[in-house]
């Protein structure tokens, strides 16, 4: 254990680093001995030690070289560019954020506070994070993510954000929360933009219903921006619960009237709503589990402060309005092709099964329901391009079509 230079008294575990250095020194010494004492050729030494030929050339220039030489040009265990003052400033900023009870105290929050305090530019975020890790100011709170399967199975990540065009807002319910002394649960709705300008916003609601979600979205559009797409899960409040197929829900009709495309995530696949699910985790860790509230008014006030801290954390400002594509009433679905009891491939859209070739089982597809032409088109994304698999006539339920015709500016 060696003392860390950032703050007196703190220690950093450098055992693994020292072990790698000792192994490297021994490797240098062994290459030198194999050449001068055992008479091995430099090429054979390279193969035997599994090192580059240049490495062997460097450490066989003369017998008995200084194998622990360090020619980096700066002191060992110190960064090349950022001095002690930088580390002290980062520690001071973190301590201030902690003393203020800030919601966010990571590298991004430290960088933002640095810009407010000092005229000199801050170190890169990765450097700030490294220094904070050396100081043991941060702790990993995420499990390692295994990637690759979604890409292999053609999850249409690119098409979600580019095919309809415009910004995609993810919406979800946080889940029931219980307050001491209160028997009935509290409900919250969350809104999130995955890409810059990023934003996360939470609002308390009366219940997980379509009417409450509509109120949340109305307020969000007025306060921040109106997206091109609202991406949701497949719950009753989002897509309706009618037993008949091809029915349009109240929320879908309202979004279409506002010229916003409804989009639905893959059922039973939380990763397809990863951004909003992650934000719900942030809500739990940094807000709900962190404070004890005596009454709902106190909680609402703290929630407003939390939302404001999120805006500052992401430095959010509404994007410059861009000209949108001509609006065509459509609903988008993300689905994974499954296999039924008869070994046939299918996806379920609007409470109806659509058959597909068996070769697409387990693959993710991007589905477009054009309400104007009443046509359903299924795509597979390959190398960020959509390839049409199937197109069928998909008639709107007569009652829903009547409501559509009564609503202005949709059909």
Whether 94 and 132 have beta carbons less than 8 Å apart is answered as yes
* Closest alpha carbon to 171 in 199, 143, 141: 199
Q: Which domain holds residue 223?
A: 150-411
Q: Helix 107-117 and helix 125-134: axis angle, to 10°? A: 110
75 in any annotated domain: no
- H or E element that contains 355: strand 352-356
Give the pLDDT of residue 265: 95
215 in any annotated domain: yes
306 in any annotated domain: yes
In the chain, how many domains are there? 3
Do residues 179 and 320 share a domain?
A: yes
Do residues 203 and 332 share a domain?
A: yes
CATH code of residue 353: 3.30.420.10
Whether 254 and 171 have beta carbons less than 8 Å apart is answered as no
Do residues 48 and 95 share a domain?
A: no
Domain boundary among 107, 134, 161: 134
- Residue 171: phi and psi, rounded to 5, are -130, 140
Do residues 122 and 36 share a domain?
A: no
* Closest alpha carbon to 111 in 95, 87, 93: 93
Do residues 127 and 155 share a domain?
A: no
139 in any annotated domain: no
Domain boundary among 134, 161, 192: 134
Do residues 281 and 316 share a domain?
A: yes
Do residues 117 and 233 share a domain?
A: no
Do residues 317 and 391 share a domain?
A: yes
Do residues 125 and 154 share a domain?
A: no
**How is residue 328 written in tokens?**
């065509």
Do residues 100 and 178 share a domain?
A: no
Give the pLDDT of residue 347: 96
Distance of CA 368 to the CA centre of its chain: 25
204 in any annotated domain: yes
Whether 243 and 224 have beta carbons less than 8 Å apart is answered as no
64 in any annotated domain: no
- Residue 218: phi and psi, rounded to 5, are -55, -50
394 in any annotated domain: yes
Ranges of the chain whose pLDDT falls below 50: 1-16
> Residues for the chain: how many in total?
411
Do residues 109 and 175 share a domain?
A: no
Do residues 126 and 39 share a domain?
A: no
Give the pLDDT of residue 13: 44
Q: Write out the DSSP string of 17-47.
A: HHHHHHHHHHHHHHHHHHHHTS---HHHHHH
206 in any annotated domain: yes
- Residue 311: phi and psi, rounded to 5, are -60, -45
């Amino acid at each position: 254990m060696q003392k860390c230079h950032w703050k007196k008294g703190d220690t950093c575990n450098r055992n693994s680093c020292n072990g790698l250095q000792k192994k490297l020194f021994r490797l240098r010494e062994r290459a030198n001995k194999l050449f001068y004492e055992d008479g091995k050729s430099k090429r054979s030494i390279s193969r035997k030690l599994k090192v580059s030929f240049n490495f062997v050339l460097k450490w066989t220039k003369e017998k008995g070289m200084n194998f622990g030489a360090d020619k980096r040009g700066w002191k060992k265990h110190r960064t090349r560019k950022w001095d002690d003052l930088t580390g002290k400033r980062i520690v001071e900023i973190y301590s201030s954020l902690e003393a203020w009870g800030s919601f966010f105290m990571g590298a991004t929050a430290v960088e933002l506070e640095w810009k407010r305090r000092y005229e000199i530019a801050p170190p890169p975020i990765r450097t700030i994070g490294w220094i904070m890790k050396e100081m043991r100011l941060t702790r990993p709170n995420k499990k390692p993510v295994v990637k690759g399967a979604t890409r292999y199975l053609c999850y249409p990540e690119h098409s979600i954000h580019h095919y309809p065009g415009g910004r995609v807002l993810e919406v979800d319910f946080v889940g029931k929360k219980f307050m001491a002394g209160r028997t009935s649960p509290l409900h919250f709705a969350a809104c999130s933009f995955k890409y810059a300008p990023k934003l996360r916003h939470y609002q308390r609601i009366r219940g997980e219903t379509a009417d409450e979600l509509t109120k949340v979205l109305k307020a969000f559009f007025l306060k921040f921006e109106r997206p091109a797409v609202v991406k949701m899960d497949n719950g009753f409040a989002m897509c309706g619960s009618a037993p008949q197929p091809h029915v349009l829900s109240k929320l879908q009709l309202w979004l279409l009237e506002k010229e916003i495309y409804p989009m639905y995530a893959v059922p039973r696949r939380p990763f397809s709503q990863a951004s909003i699910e992650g934000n719900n985790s942030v809500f739990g860790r940094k807000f709900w589990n962190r404070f004890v509230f005596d009454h709902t008014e106190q909680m609402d006030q703290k929630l407003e402060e939390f939302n404001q801290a999120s805006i500052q954390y992401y430095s959010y400002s509404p994007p410059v309005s861009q000209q949108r594509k001509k609006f065509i009433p459509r609903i988008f679905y993300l689905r994974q092709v499954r296999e039924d009891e008869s070994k046939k491939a299918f996806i379920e859209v609007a409470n109806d099964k659509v058959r597909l070739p068996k070769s697409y089982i387990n693959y993710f597809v991007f589905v477009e329901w054009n309400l104007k032409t009443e046509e359903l088109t299924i795509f597979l994304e390959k190398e960020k391009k959509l390839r049409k698999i199937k197109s069928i006539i998909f008639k709107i339920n007569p009652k829903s079509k009547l409501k559509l015709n009564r609503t202005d500016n949709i059909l």
